[in-house]
Amino acid sequence: MMATAIKFDHVKKAFNGKLVVNDFNLDIQQGELFVLVGNSGSGKTTSIKMINRLEDPSTGQILVNDVPTTAYDLQKLRWKIGYVLQQIALFPNMTVAQNITLIPEIKKEQGDLKRLAKELLQDVGLNGKDYFDRYPHELSGGEQQRIGILRAIASKPPIVLMDEPFSALDPLSRTNLQNLVIDLHKELHNTIVFVTHDMNEALRLADRIGIMKDGNLLQVGRPQELLRHPATEYVQEFFRGCLANDLYQTPLRQAILFTDPKVYPRTPAAGMPVLSDDSNFEKLLNLLSRREEVGVQDPNGECMGYLDRRWVIKYLSEINDFS
Ligand SMILES: Nc1ncnc2c1ncn2[C@@H]1O[C@H](COP(=O)(O)OP(=O)(O)OP(=O)(O)O)[C@@H](O)[C@H]1O
């Protein structure tokens, strides 16, 4: 069995008598990329701030590696936990390299920190030499965000909290940085708790998703489970909301699921030719994965290419013809 990295145990949080997190129970596994999704004010930020003790629960407790957060020395706890915010606050008077190596330096980590900074910069597609000595104001928003992520992971903390880190960026930078998070997660096998209000982002990134509303955790599951079996109207509504952004750039498997009127009867895609059972679903996925236009993919269909609604319609028609 996998070890639990973070456990919320009957956590409640009230501000001025108002409950903003209500009996939150959740186990996040080691190495998991867990995404908390929900509308503004649903309590996501407050929930993750309780992990690194920027807030403390009113009642209940949070355990990190089976130890209550309150039992840790605060600094030691925070060293275990990288933190990335929407508005990355890079230190304006420090160079890119100094920003990246700040935490390893404070922790007096051994090793060649300059080299570490160069390697990390290469990892995120920024040529180390060009960027090394620049100051934050000489970077674009997307580049600053990259450096913020590097700063959070430079000392390889086993847990990283990311609070809407990309919501201020343009769609292309956002997609690039989402890919970066996926790649870094694969490489480092760390535990990531990622907060977003964007369900598409959640579906792209998550091993598992938790959906919050008004301080309650409504449903937790793997993306496919949530898409297939939304527990409440609200969860279903949330998915519909992201369909409205069109299926362009929607992962293949998700795009196909969205076209199933049994699950999403009132989506804009309803009325399209549909796959009605799982064997057809797999068949379609295989078919699509061999098409160049779709630019796919992982053979088990988990990590997918992206396709336009037109292609979904076209291929769904085709497969229905021979299914
Ligand atoms: N320090 C605070 N004092 C009083 N109320 C607070 C405080 N922090 C958060 N709240 C309230 O708690 C509720 C949940 O806020 P929180 O920031 O956790 O939500 P969120 O889901 O992260 O929303 P957003 O996406 O807008 O950041 C909100 O109603 C907010 O006004």
SS3 content of the chain, % helix, strand, coil (to 5): 40, 20, 35
Cβ atoms of 147 and 88 within 8 Å: the answer is yes
Give residue 107's pLDDT band: very low, low, confident or very high (50, 70, 90): confident
* Spacing, Cα 12 to ligand 1 middle (Å): 13
Q: Which residue is it, tokens 């309803």?
A: 270
Question: Is pLDDT above 50 for 267?
Answer: no
Handedness of CA 88, 91, 96, 99 (dihedral sign): negative
- Cβ within 8 Å of residue 266, ≥6 positions away: 240
| Predicted confidence (pLDDT) per residue in 154-196, tens digit | 888 999 999 998 887 777 777 778 888 888 898 889 999 999 9
* Spacing, Cα 40 to ligand 1 middle (Å): 8
- What's the Cα-to-Cα distance from 82 to each of 48, 124, 135, 152, rounded to whole Å? 12, 17, 22, 5
Nearest Cα residue to atom 17 of ligand 1 = 45
Q: Which of 5, 12, 20 is nearest to 161 (CA)?
A: 5
* Spacing, Cα 35 to ligand 1 middle (Å): 17
Total-model pTM: 0.77
Question: What is the DSSP secondary structure assignment for residue 292, as one 8-state letter?
Answer: G
Query: What is the rounded average pLDDT of the residues 5-14?
Result: 97
Q: Which of 275, 221, 269 is nearest to 245 (CA)?
A: 269
Question: Is pLDDT above 90 for 272?
Answer: no
- Cβ within 8 Å of residue 30, ≥6 positions away: 2, 3, 4, 5, 158, 191
Ligand 1 pocket by C-beta < 6 Å: which residues? 15, 20, 38, 40-46, 197
Q: Where does residue 195 rank: exposed (0-12), middle (13-18), buried (19+ CB within 10 A)?
A: buried
Q: How many residues does the chain have?
A: 323
Question: Is pLDDT above 80 for 84?
Answer: yes
ipTM of the complex: 0.93
Question: Ligand 1, closest atom to CA 42?
Answer: 21
Question: Which residues face 7 on adjacent strands?
Answer: 27, 63
Distance of CA 81 to the CA centre of its chain: 16
Taking all residues of the chain, what is their mean pLDDT, rounded to a whole number?
Answer: 78
Question: Is pLDDT above 80 for 269?
Answer: no
Query: What is the rounded average pLDDT of the residues 281-300?
Result: 50
Question: Is pLDDT above 70 for 297?
Answer: no
What is the rounded CA–CA span in Å between residue 213 and residue 219?
10
Q: Which of 157, 211, 158, 206 is nearest to 181 (CA)?
A: 206
